[in-house]
Amino acid sequence: MLNSEFCKAARWQLYCDSNSRPSLVARSLITGVLPSLLVTLWQGLALPRLVYLIAQSEGRHYSLSRVDMRMGEIYFFWDVFNMFAQGVLGSAAVSTATGAAIYTQTASFLNNPQEFPNLLGQALPTSSKFFFTYLIMRTLLSVPLRFLIAQPGVWQSWLRLMDVFGGPVPSRVAFMRDAIRSPRFGVEYGSSLLILLICLAFSIISPLIVLFGCAFFGATWVYWRYQLIYNYQRKYESGGLMWPFFANRALVCCAIMVAFTGCVMIVKKAFVQATLLWVAGIISTLAFRSRLNRRYMNAIQEMPLYLAQMAPRARVPATTYVPPPLQVNGLGWYPEFNKVWEWFGMPGYSF
């Protein structure tokens, strides 16, 4: 549909009407690679900064760890509702209707909401091509490129080697360019959860996606192990709460897989199997999540009494609660003291 709409608007004969090999390759790239490339660029360049500003503008969280966790929550909402849900439904609408027929199909669905599982079951196989292309690009292009760019300062070093920016570099600029960054856990967890959601949701429809998903997580594990050892330095201490954050949302991805797989079974007229999958799968997922929270989360809510009895009396200086710029002589102050993501060029405050 993208090619047809483009040809209707542009009427470029060399591109639209030609059957030559370059024209066929160009049309394949525009329909197959370009959408996934644009989504990848949006996720890597614009979305993390927008999520940062949104979390900062809420003004609800006092600790850096909680702000970063809030960024992960916003990113996960975007993964589920914007990227995944709209990608699935949008692919189904575009593939089955064009122009005004899309609005007719939407109105028909609103008048018959009981057809929603059937629509999802038809939409999931239709959208698998886009998500498969996106996963291949993330695995074969994005991850290797991140190995080459250990930190943002590498870009400037490459440009300087090519003599794009000539002249000497001031010491302050060199320090900020080569400074040790802090890992953006909120965004990185959100990005990994999106790949996990795609792999789980399409594991039954397109099993080949699982193979590339395993390759992505394997390469990402090597990348992050290297980065955390040599290039990144943590900005805060969350007490290990980022792992429960990730585990709970991974179980949400499992529940989404159960729901969408049951919709596909309904399309195949397997109503009994779909009902059993929904009942058993959702209940078991919720029960496992409840067991994890009772077993582990309750243990970290309060300090054990025997540890509290053994611990010495705490004497916290009053200056601890004073922001560094307001202390005498600016004790402990440095330009990035109030930022969750250190040396990423983000403002310390937001509206």
Tell me how far apart the 2 most distant CA atoms of the chain are, in Å: 82
In whole angstroms, how far apart are CA 328 and each of 52, 196, 348? 30, 49, 21
Residue pLDDT, tens place only, 213-250:
999 999 999 999 998 888 888 888 887 888 889 999 99
* Mean pLDDT to the nearest integer, 305-329: 78
Q: Name residues whose C-beta falls within 8 Å of residue 277's C-beta, 6 or more positions apart in sequence.
A: 258, 261, 262, 265
pTM of the complete model: 0.83
Check pLDDT > 70 for residue 97.
no
The mean predicted confidence, pLDDT, of the chain is 81
User: Who wins on pLDDT, 2 or 190?
Assistant: 190
DSSP 167: S
Q: What pLDDT was estimated at residue 100?
A: 45
Residue pLDDT, tens place only, 239-293:
788 888 999 999 999 999 999 889 888 888 888 999 999 999 999 999 999 998 8
Residue pLDDT, tens place only, 115-135:
667 777 777 777 888 899 899
DSSP 3-state of 181 = strand
DSSP 3-state of 183 = coil
pLDDT above 70 coverage of the chain, percent: 81
Check pLDDT > 70 for residue 331.
no
Q: What pLDDT was estimated at residue 133?
A: 87
Q: What pLDDT was estimated at residue 238?
A: 83
Q: What pLDDT was estimated at residue 2?
A: 58
Among the residues of 179-322, which ranges form H helices?
Answer: 185-201, 208-230, 242-267, 271-292, 305-310
User: Who wins on pLDDT, 282 or 107?
Assistant: 282
Check pLDDT > 50 for residue 98.
no
Q: What b-and-e string marks burial along 36-74, b requiring 16 or more CB atoms within 10 Å of the CB?
A: bbebeeebeeebbeebbbebbeeeebeebbbbbbbbbbb
Residue pLDDT, tens place only, 310-321:
888 878 887 777
User: Who wins on pLDDT, 70 or 295?
Assistant: 70
Check pLDDT > 70 for residue 3.
no
> Do residues 93 and 106 touch, judged by C-beta distance below 8 A?
yes
Q: What pLDDT was estimated at residue 99?
A: 43
